[in-house]
Amino acid sequence: MSTRLRGKCAIVTGAGRGIGLGIARLLAKEGASVLLVDRDENLVSEAAATLSKSGRKAHYLRADVSKADDMRSMAAWAVKEFGQIDILCPNAAIFDPSPIVDMPEELWDRLIDINLKGVFLSVQACLPKMMARSYGRIVVTSSITGNRTAIAGMAHYAASKGGINGFIRAAALEFAGHGITINGVEPGHVMTEGAAPQYDPEFKRAVESFIPMGRFAEPDDIGKAVLFLASDDAAYITGQTLIVDGGVTLPEYPPGFPRAS
């Protein structure tokens, strides 16, 4: 087992599957004790059990990131069991496409509450313990959507992820004098259990043809970027986001576009 994060204690929200589980797996692999948090208790308990069986230090807690009481309880649990909070990875998010003209107000509010307010509440809950120790690494899962690209029908999601990047920059200024860094990762197309049903074989091939590296990211690809920002190798980096998209945001022209002669 690697020991890059030996002695560190981490919290990952939305860790029942997908990117969150990939992040938790990488942090635990590097020696951190990890608390996996998710609204789905069955999912997150199974995820933690799987990590524990492989020799990792993994625990789980059912909590809703959109509820302040749940986030305070999450931080209190970590302090009681771990004694400290070194790393926080606010990752929980939903995406439920809807055109703006038909979007119910309730859908907008629910997505913003989870994706954006959930970041604020989880950070706020963990901040006092980090400030008391003058140490913390916060790494938020953002997205290229809303910050570099846009998708029709995803205005609420784009707004939430754009808001996350603004929060990261402002929070970095507040935390810099307390030994706490806050950064983010901006994933591109990631193949997760939640995303897979959206891709029939033809659509999947079409998307892959647009990604310069020719493949979707796996959750561990995102986890490795988070691991770097959560480690002391990134001690002098704050208020930044790292794009992890296989180059999809690079082309000025789509694949197959005629070249100038």
pLDDT band at 181 (very low <50, low <70, confident <90, very high): very high
Its domain, for residue 38, covers: 9-242
- Residue 261 located in a structural domain: no
- Residue 70 located in a structural domain: yes
What is the total count of domains within the chain?
Answer: 1
pLDDT digits (tens, 9 = 90+) for 198-239: 778 888 899 999 999 999 999 999 999 999 999 999 999 999
pLDDT digits (tens, 9 = 90+) for 77-101: 999 999 999 999 999 999 999 999 9
What's the 3-state SS for the chain? CCCCCCCCEEEEECCCCHHHHHHHHHHHHCCCEEEEEECCHHHHHHHHHHHHHCCCEEEEEECCCCCHHHHHHHHHHHHHHHCCCCEEECCCCCCCCCCHHHCCHHHHHHHHHHHHHHHHHHHHHHHHHHHHHCCEEEEEECCCECCCECCCCCHHHHHHHHHHHHHHHHHHHHHHHHCEEEEEEEECCECCCCCHHHCCHHHHHHHHHHCCCCCCECHHHHHHHHHHHHCHHHCCCCCCEEEECCCCCCCCCCCCCCCCC
Q: Are 187 and 217 in contact (CB under 8 A)?
A: yes
Would the pLDDT of 192 be above 90? no
**The CATH number of the domain where 52 resides is what?**
3.40.50.720
For the annotated catalytic residues, the residue numbers are: 157
What's residue 43's pLDDT? Answer: 97
* Residue 186 in tokens: 């901006």
- Residue 225 located in a structural domain: yes
Would the pLDDT of 1 be above 70? no
- Residue 255 located in a structural domain: no
pLDDT band at 66 (very low <50, low <70, confident <90, very high): very high
Would the pLDDT of 196 be above 70? no
pLDDT band at 187 (very low <50, low <70, confident <90, very high): very high
Per-residue pLDDT, averaged over 121-137, amounts to: 98
Per-residue pLDDT, averaged over 137-148, amounts to: 98
Would the pLDDT of 197 be above 80? no
- Residue 248 located in a structural domain: no
- Residue 143 located in a structural domain: yes
